[in-house]
Amino acid sequence: MAKTSYPKHYKSLLGEKETEHAIIFLKDFFQLALSTELNLTRVTAPLFVRKGTGVNDDLNGVERPVSFPAKALNEQKLEIVQSLAKWKRLKVTDLGLEKGFGIYTDMNAIRPDEDLDAVHSLYVDQWDWEMAIDEKDRTVFYLHEIVKKVYRCIKRAEFFIYDRYSNIKPELPEEIKLLYSDDLAREYPNLTPKEREAEVARKYGAVFITGIGAKLPDGTIHDGRAPDYDDWITETGDGHKGLNGDIIVWNSVLQQPFELSSMGIRVSPASLKAQLEERGCPERAELMFHSKLLKGELTQTLGGGIGQSRLCMFLLKKAHIGETQVSIWPEKMIAECKKNGIKLLQLN
C-alpha cells in the first residue's frame, strides 16, 4: 500500500445515496457530451483478449495482466484487458470509419500490480475513445485542438454538477494550459516529474503535458508509455518530441496534481518501428497487431482514455477513489479512511 495522506477535517459534500445518484447523472451526461463533441459512436468492448496477439495494453511493460485458461478454447490463455488502446484501433479499422469520426466505450480493467492509495485502485474504469484521422492531422497542433474539446466536456460536466448541487463550487479555469515535458524539465531541473506536475497544476489549475515517454534533455522520460500505441518519438516541428500527453488538474481536496486523461496520436509504421527499437523489444513486430500496423493495414487514429471514477471523484470533491467505485482495499486503508471521515462504497 502506498503512503496516503488524507485531508484534515474532511466531510463529503454528498451523502452516500446522493453520491450514487450523482455518479449516474455525471456519467450519463459526460459520455453524451464527449460523443457529440468528438463525433463518437458507442460500441461494446471486450473484458478479455487472447494472450500473445499484442492487442492487450502493456502499460509500462512491467505490469502483469490477469490471465486465465479457457476450458472451451482448449485451455488457451486469455488476458483481462489493462486498457483498450490497441483494440480500439482495430475496431475503427474494422468499421471503416471516415476521418473525423470514431468510437467510445466503457473499459473495465484489473491491474493487480497497482500501488493502492487515494487515487489508485485494483479496478480501473474509463471511457476509452478512438477516432479516425487523416495523415495530415498527425501534428501536435491537431492533437491540442482535440485536447481543448475534451477539456470543454470536463468543464461542462463541472457546471452540470454545480447546477444540481450548489454546494459543489466550480474551480477549473476556463482554458487548459498546453505545456511540453521537455520545457518543464528545463524550467524545473531540480524537481522530479511528479513535482513538476504539482508546480504547474497548482499554478494553472488544468494543464496538458505533451510528450509523455519521449526522452528529455537529460535522457530520462517524464513518465512511462508503451511503445506500440501513442507516438512519443516523432518530432513535432516546433522543437519538441511527442504527439501524446496527459490532462492533469489541481485537486483542491487532496492538494495534489490529479491525472484525468491520457491521450495521443497513435503510432505510424515508422514510429512504431523506432519506438520498439528504443524500448528494446523489436520482437513485438511479429505479433498480430503490430504486423498489421507495419503492413499499413490499420487506420490512422487518435485516441485516449478518461477515468470514470476519477472524474466523478474530482467533480464531486471526494477524498478517495473508493468513494466513487467499489473495489478491494487493505484493512489498514479502510481503517484510516473511517478515521478520516471517508465512507468507501463497499461493505467491508
pLDDT per residue over 252-274, tens digit each? 999 999 999 999 999 999 999 99
**Stronger pLDDT, 1 or 328, i.e. the higher one:** 328
The strand pair at 206-210 and 76-80 is best described as unpaired
Q: Is 126 a catalytic residue?
A: yes
Digit-coded pLDDT (tens) for 98-154: 999 999 999 999 988 889 999 999 999 999 999 999 999 999 999 999 999 999 999
Catalytic residue among 130, 228, 231, 246: 246
Q: Is 223 a catalytic residue?
A: no
Distances (CA, A) of 106 to 30, 46, 81, 244: 12, 9, 12, 21
Q: Is 246 a catalytic residue?
A: yes
Segment 82-99 mean pLDDT: 95
Q: Is the pLDDT of residue 8 over 60?
A: yes
Q: Is 259 a catalytic residue?
A: yes
Digit-coded pLDDT (tens) for 53-66: 888 877 666 678 88
The grid cell for 295 is 503492413
- For residue 34, which phi and psi values (nearest 5 degrees)? -65, -45
Q: Is 225 a catalytic residue?
A: no
Percent of the chain at pLDDT > 90 equals 86
Catalytic residue among 111, 266, 279, 310: 111
Buried/exposed code over 71-88 (b: 16+ C-beta within 10 A; e: otherwise): eeeeeeebbbbbbbbbbb
Segment 209-238 mean pLDDT: 92
Chain position carrying cell 467510445: 104
Distance, in Å, from the CA atom of 283 to the CA atom of 292, rounded to the nearest integer, reads: 14
Q: Is the pLDDT of residue 22 over 80?
A: yes
Catalytic residue among 126, 261, 268, 308: 126
State the pLDDT at residue 91.
97
Digit-coded pLDDT (tens) for 151-202: 999 999 999 999 999 999 999 999 999 999 999 999 999 999 999 999 999 9
State the pLDDT at residue 87.
95
State the pLDDT at residue 2.
57
Q: Is the pLDDT of residue 11 over 70?
A: yes
Q: Where are the alpha helices (DSSP H) in 189-307?
A: 193-204, 269-278, 288-294
Catalytic residue among 12, 181, 262, 268: 262
**Stronger pLDDT, 210 or 52, i.e. the higher one:** 210
The grid cell for 75 is 485451455
Instruction: Identify the band that residue 237 occupies on the pLDDT scale cut at 50, 70 and 90.
Output: confident
Segment 3-11 mean pLDDT: 85
Q: Is 252 a catalytic residue?
A: no
Segment 51-80 mean pLDDT: 85
Catalytic residue among 12, 31, 35, 57: 57
